[in-house]
Amino acid sequence: MPLEKPKRLSASIWLKQKTSKVYKSIAFIPFLVVLFFLLLSVSMIYLDYSDTGKDLKAATNWIRLKDPSTARTIVSVIAAGLISLTVFSFSMVMVVLNQAASQLSNRVLDKLVGNRFHQFIIGFYIGDIIYALLLLTSIRDVESGIYVPALSTYLLILLSVFAIFLFVLFLHFITQTIKYTTIIRRIYKQTLVSMKESCFLETEPDIAPAQQGHPVYSDRAGVFETFDRQQMAKLARKNNCVITFRYPTGHFVLENVPIADVYCLKETVTKELESHILSNISLVDEPSVDIYFYSGFRQLSEIAIKALSPGINDPGTAAESLRALFALLAYRYKHFPDNNIRDKHGTVRVVTKEMSFDEIFQRYIVPVWDYGKDDRNIRNQMIDLLLQLQYIGKSATTQKFLAQIQRKPFREDEYPA
C-alpha cells in the first residue's frame, strides 16, 4: 500500500541538496567577495586612525591628504562610477540571459548564471561600492592631514583601476559566452566529465535477475536525481535484503507510485525500512548535469530542436548540438555504468536501472530528426554521424535508423541543383 505521509530526507541527502543549492546560487561568490571587502574596509579604516597609520602618514608626506574634502570628493566620484559600471554589467548579463532563453533553451540559463567569473566581477563591484560608502562615512572634518583616511582612499583608487580592467575583461568574456558554440561545448564537457564518473566499465555488467519484492511507494513527486549509495547499501545489508529501483535517474516519478522493490530473504519489509529507503532518495525539480549526466543529453537535444523551430530556423546550431550528442554517444557505447551496488563482502545489495545505448538514442537523437528531417543540412549531418558511429560499434537501432534515412528520398532530390 502507498505510504500515507511523506518522510523526511536523510541528513546526508538533505545536507547535499542544501549545499548544492547554496553553492550554485548566483549570490554565493558575490557574498564571499562582499564579505571580504567589508572586512577590508573596516581593517583599513582602523589602520588609518590607529597610531601606526598616523605615524606612517606623518613620516611620508606623499601619501597624506591634507584636505578631507578632497578625500570625500575622490571617494564620491569613485562610488558613483562603480555604481554605473555595476548597473551596466547587470544589464549586459540580462541581455545574454534573455537571448540564451529565447534562442537556445531555458535550461542553459543555469550555466550562464552560475558562471563564476561573472559572479566574481559583480561581487567585486558591489564590494568596492560598500568599501567606498563605509570610507565616506568615516571621513572627518579636521585640519590635520594625518586624521584623513588617506591610506584607505589610495587603496580605493587602486581597486577602482583594477575594476576598470575587470570591466574590459568582462566585455570580452560576455561576447564569448553568448556564442552558441561556447554554450554547447560547455554542456558537452560537463556531461562528459559526469559520464566518465558514472560509466567507468569497459564491458557491460551482468544484470541481476528480477525478483518479486515488496514495492516501496514514492512519498512525493519529482525527478529521481540520485540516492545515497553508501547508506542504501548499508541499509540493505543490515536488513539482509536487495533493493531494486524501477526507474533510471532522471525519470519523473509521481507521488504514491512504486519507485523501488525490496526483496528480503527472511524479514518482512516494515514501514520503518520503507521510511529509511525513501529518506535516502533525492527527488528534485531539476536534476544537475554534475549528478545526472542524461540532463546534458536532454539540454543538447532541446537546443537542437529549438534551433530547428520555424521562429529561429538555425540548422547550424542544431548540427553543432548533434555533433556533441554523437560524441557523447560514442563514449557511452564503449563504457557502461555499474548498476550493481555491493556491500563490503561483495554481495549485491542495490540494483539500479540504467538506460541502454539504444534507449538514449531513441530519447535524444530521434526527436531531433523528427524536427529536422526536411532540412538538407541536418539530413547530411545525421547520415555522416551515423556512418561514423558504425566504425565505433554496430547497433541494431542505429543501423535500422540509418537505413531508413538513406531510403527516404529528400523532397527536393528529384530537382537537383
**Hunting for cell 505510504 — which residue is that?**
3
Output the CA–CA distances (angstroms, integers) from residue 239 to 13, 268, 278, 353, in the order listed: 21, 9, 15, 22
Q: Which of 3-12, 207-216, 341-350 shows the lowest mean pLDDT across its residues?
A: 3-12
**Is pLDDT of 149 > 60?**
yes
For residue 254, what pLDDT is reported?
92
54 in Cβ contact with 141 (< 8 Å): no
pLDDT at 7 over 60: no
pLDDT above 90 for 325: yes
Among 203, 180, 200, which Cα is nearest to 192's? 200
Q: What is the pLDDT of residue 365?
A: 92
The mean pLDDT value for 135-150 works out to 72
List the domain boundaries for the chain.
19-178, 180-410
C-alpha separations of 131 from 35, 43, 65, 77 in Å: 10, 11, 18, 13
Q: Does residue 151 register a pLDDT over 50?
A: yes
Express each pLDDT in 357-389 by its tens digit: 899 999 999 999 998 888 888 999 999 999 999
Strand partners for 318? none
> What is the per-residue pLDDT across 393-406, written as a single tens digit (0 to 9) for each?
888 888 888 888 88
Q: According to the model, what pLDDT value does residue 364 have?
A: 92
Asked whether the beta carbons of 173 and 117 are under 8 A apart, the reply is: yes
Q: Which pTM value belongs to this model?
A: 0.74
Residue 85: closest CA among 163, 12, 32, 17:
163
Rounded distance, CA 97 to CA 306, Å?
Answer: 16
Print the SS3 string covering the chain. CCCCCCCCCCHHHHHHHHHHHHHCCCCHHHHHHHHHHHHHHHHHHHHHHCHHHHHHHHHCHHHCCCCHHHHHHHHHHHHHHHHHHHHHHHHHHHHHHHHHHHHCCHHHHHHHHCCHHHHHHHHHHHHHHHHHHHHHHHCCCCCCHHHCCHHHHHHHHHHHHHHHHHHHHHHHHHHHHCCHHHHHHHHHHHHHHHHHHHCCECCCCCCCCCCCCEEEECCCCEEEEEECHHHHHHHHHHCCEEEEECCCCCCEECCCCEEEEEEECCCCCCHHHHHHHHHCEEEECCCCCCCCCHHHHHHHHHHHHHHCCCCCCCHHHHHHHHHHHHHHHHHHHHCECCCEEECCCCCEEEECCCCCHHHHHHHHCHHHHHHHCCCHHHHHHHHHHHHHHHHHCCCHHHHHHHHHHHHCCCCCCCCCC
Q: Which pLDDT score, from 0 to 100, does residue 36 have?
A: 94
Identify which has the larger pLDDT, 193 or 68: 193
Return the pLDDT at 353.
Answer: 87
Residue listed under C-alpha cell 574590459: 168
Query: Phi and psi at residue 313, in whole multiples of 5°?
Result: 55, 60
Comparing 53-57, 87-91, 159-163, 342-346, the range with the smallest average pLDDT is 53-57
**Does the pLDDT at position 158 exceed 90?**
yes
In sequence order, what are the residues at sequence separation of 6 or more whose Cβ sits closer than 8 angstroms to the Cβ of residue 369? 378, 382, 401, 405
For the record, the C-alpha cell of 412 comes out as: 527536393
pLDDT at 198: 84
* Alpha carbon 400 to chain centroid, angstroms: 35
Mean pLDDT score of the chain: 81
Q: What is the pLDDT of residue 410?
A: 58
Q: Of the candidates 237, 240, 119, 111, which has an alpha carbon nearest to the alpha carbon of residue 186?
A: 111
CA distance between the termini of the chain:
66
pLDDT attached to residue 119: 84
- Going by their DSSP bridges, the two strands 241-245 and 348-351 should be labelled as parallel
Taking only the tens place, the pLDDT of each residue in 261-315 is: 888 876 677 888 888 888 888 888 776 656 678 888 988 998 899 888 888 888 8
Percent of the chain at pLDDT above 90?
A: 19
More confident residue, 55 or 351: 351
User: What is d(CA 68, CA 138) in angstroms, rounded to the nearest whole number?
Assistant: 10
Residue 202 pLDDT more than 90? no
Q: Check: CB of residue 129 under 8 Å from CB of residue 171.
A: no
Q: Tell me what pLDDT residue 4 has.
A: 43
Pick the CATH number of 180-410 from 3.90.1170.30, 3.40.1410.10, 3.40.50.300, 3.60.110.10: 3.90.1170.30
Place of cell 555491493: 342
The 10s digit of each residue's pLDDT in 217-268 is 988 888 888 888 888 888 888 888 888 898 888 888 998 899 988 888 766 7
Other residues' Cβ atoms within 10 Å of the Cβ of residue 23? 10
Q: What is the pLDDT of residue 374?
A: 86
Task: Give tens-digit pLDDT for 87-139.
Answer: 888 887 777 777 766 766 666 666 666 678 878 888 899 999 999 999 888 88
